[in-house]
Amino acid sequence: MKAKAAVLFEVGKRLELCDVDVAAPQAGEVLIRMAAGGVCHSDLHAMTGHLVASLPAILGHEGAGVVADVGSGVTSLKPGDHVIPLWRLSCGVCEFCSDGRPALCNAGLQVRMTGRFLDGTTRFSLSGREIKHFAGVSTFSEYSVVPEKAVLKIPDDLPLDKAALLGCAVITGYGAVVNCAKVKPGGSVVVFGAGGVGLNAIQGAAIAGAEKIIAVDLVPRKLEYARQFGATHVVNASDGDPVAAVRALTGGRGVDYAFEVIGLPKTMRQAYDCLAKRGVCVVVGVAPMAMEISVPVMTLVYEERVLTGSVYGSSRPAIDIPKLIALYRAGKLKLDELLTRTYPFREINEAYAALERGEVARSVVTF
Ligand code: APR
Ligand code: ZN
Ligand code: ZN
């Protein structure tokens, strides 16, 4: 079948809308008619080359849709089911999957790096040329084939445009706080970057009962969003050294938890520098592969600080996403407020331009 899809042919180029060929789902695969695709910065990182992607590929890794067809042997899903594709495939049986760390599964990493399914092939092509599956899910396509193991069924009554956000922005930001750092009630938190993912780190900290939640960004509008999502204090980094501002807000002590949700070595170091003794800094943002950061050894040893990273919210999506849905239904998780703009699919490049300009909390394209 044919589908309209947003293809990245080369680093440095914008997305091209093409009518690609989509092959039927094979054994253990599912065809999804996409309803909404989330406009996340990671796709922009792929366009700029900060994030390595096998090209040409159909981008998009956040989304929600309806199952249109299933391949042989698929038992957990049927046509008509509402689903979220999961951008990190997990095999379910390896050391990491068995340990509740599916985002670290090597099978998922292989799909991510090659843009091909585990059998080494793709289901997309254009005039006979192979087109890759970005993150294994390619949500910027009217139709996408996804392995059953990377598809999560969600309730039918959840609006699909908002459900899409659960699959990356929400689970990544919230999970970094709740699963990775395990923020405790009464703790103090700083979040660098109040974008789609960072706002979810902020609301995760609020839900976890953090007492002081400081948001750092450069854009006043983002700092307003941050307050709406639970920040108790905001710091505009363009007004001066944000580390000094965070230290001042904590009486010189520093914070218990710092999150970097931008993807710059400079802000990763700033986040680390905000820590109190025994503080934990979690890097969520994606920097270019060759980038390094350094920290003073003395603070690691004599202050017992921790520097770590978190991928996909260190989550178990099949357990965490239903919990997030329950929090949303209970009025505790802000999803409606997160979705600040919706674009028709054909305006996807404009949606990315608006993300770069800092105009949105999170946006989606709809099909
Ligand atoms: N200091 C403070 N804030 C900054 C700085 C800076 N030097 N540079 C950028 N920002 C802010 C932007 O203003 C924006 O609000 O960081 C925020 C980034 O948000 P988005 O562009 O919405 O990106 P998002 O989709 O949230 O992704 C953030 O997480 O998953 C990763 O790959 C993703 O690295 C990306 C990061
Ligand atoms: Zn595995
Ligand atoms: Zn993302």
Whether the Cβ atoms of residue 241 and residue 192 lie closer than 8 Å to each other: no
pLDDT digits (tens, 9 = 90+) for 85-139: 999 999 999 999 999 999 999 999 999 999 999 999 999 999 999 999 999 999 9
Classify domain 2-153+337-366 at the CATH topology level.
Answer: Quinone Oxidoreductase; Chain A, domain 1 (3.90.180)
pLDDT digits (tens, 9 = 90+) for 211-265: 999 999 999 999 999 999 999 999 999 999 999 999 999 999 999 999 999 999 9
CA 251–ligand 3 middle distance (angstroms): 35
| pLDDT score for 40 | 96
> Percent of the chain, pLDDT > 70?
100
The second-level CATH assignment, the architecture, of 172-311 is 3-Layer(aba) Sandwich (3.40)
Q: Could you give the residue range(s) of every CATH 3.40.50.720 domain in the chain?
A: 172-311
pLDDT digits (tens, 9 = 90+) for 41-84: 999 999 999 999 999 999 999 999 999 999 999 999 999 999 99
Q: 18, 97, 105, 168: which one is catalytic?
A: 168
Q: 40, 97, 180, 274: which one is catalytic?
A: 40
- The CA distance from 204 to 146, in Å, is 29
Q: How confident is the model over 270-298, as a mean pLDDT? A: 95
Give residue ranges with CB within 6 A of ligand 1: 40-42, 45, 172, 192-198, 216-219, 222, 237, 261-264, 267, 284-286, 355, 358
Residue-wise burial string across 108-146, b where 16 or more C-beta atoms lie within 10 A, e elsewhere? bebbbeebbbbeeebbbebeeeebbbbbbbbbbbbbbbb
Q: Could you give the residue range(s) of every CATH 3.90.180.10 domain in the chain?
A: 2-153+337-366
CA 75–ligand 2 middle distance (angstroms): 20
pLDDT digits (tens, 9 = 90+) for 124-173: 999 999 999 999 999 999 999 999 999 999 999 999 999 999 999 999 99
